[in-house]
Amino acid sequence: MKKFLSMFLFVGALAFVVGAAPAEESAFLKSLEGKWAGTGTVKVRTNSAPLAVSCRFDSSATDSSLALDGNCRGLIVISRTIGADLKFNGATYTGSYTGAGTGKAGLIGSRRDDSINLDIRWAKNVNGDRNAQLVVQKVGNNGMKLTTVDVDPLSGKTVVTSEINLQRQ
């Protein structure tokens, strides 16, 4: 009887923990919903100089998805539409990213603390290959940071190719 009770409590606790994850994820995703604006830098290539940009994003969320749609401008004349559509299932995020100018890229990853860490699979080669990383990070209650990282094909070093710091509007 004691063994059965222990097993019952263990299974009940496990069900509680597993059941809590989607609600926790839902709250996290919904905390990223809203209108955002900010500034940052973008490198067209890993070896190019950073370009200062100003960006605006609208984001919408459901219990299991996040959509970021925005635009970044640099030097007044350069403008690029940027977007990410993410879906959460189990412990994994999947989706797509637009903004590199190579077509729609695939995303897959997971969340750790206040960051969704995603592997990017570009539609075409960028900086010598089709791989990079994107981090969507919640910063406090009213901040969000978007960072892309790639590997420089010549040096093999990791390079931050974009970092955009946004504030809720």
The per-residue pLDDT for 30 is: 96
Query: pTM, whole model, 2 decimals?
Result: 0.83
The per-residue pLDDT for 23 is: 80
What mean pLDDT value characterizes the chain? 86
C-beta of residue 66 within 8 angstroms of C-beta of residue 59: yes
DSSP secondary structure string for all residues of the chain: -HHHHHHHHHHHHHHHHHHHHHHHHHHHHHHT-EEEEEEEEE-SSTTSPPEEEEEEEEEEE-SSEEEEEEEEEETTTEEEEEEEEEEEETTEEEEEEE-SSSSPEEEEEEEETTEEEEEEEEEEEETTEEEEEEEEEEETTTEEEEEEEEE-TTT--EEEEEEEEEEE-
The full set of domain ranges for the chain reads 2-168
Backbone angles phi, psi at 46, to 5 degrees: -60, -25
Task: Using the predicted structure, report yes or no on whether residue 6 has a pLDDT greater than 70.
Answer: no
Q: What is the dihedral of CA 86, 45, 55, 34, to 10 degrees?
A: 10
- Using one digit for the tens of pLDDT, what is the confidence trace for 11-56? 333 333 333 347 899 999 999 999 999 999 999 889 889 999 999 9
The per-residue pLDDT for 12 is: 37
Q: What average pLDDT score do residues 79-84 get? A: 89
The per-residue pLDDT for 150 is: 94
- CATH topology for the 2-168 domain: Lipocalin (2.40.128)
The per-residue pLDDT for 96 is: 97
- Using one digit for the tens of pLDDT, what is the confidence trace for 110-138? 999 999 999 999 988 888 889 999 999 99
Task: Using the predicted structure, report yes or no on whether residue 77 has a pLDDT greater than 90.
Answer: no
For the stretch 17-23, contacts whose Cβ atoms lie closer than 8 Å and that sit 24 or more positions apart, written own/partner, are 21/91, 22/63, 22/64, 22/88
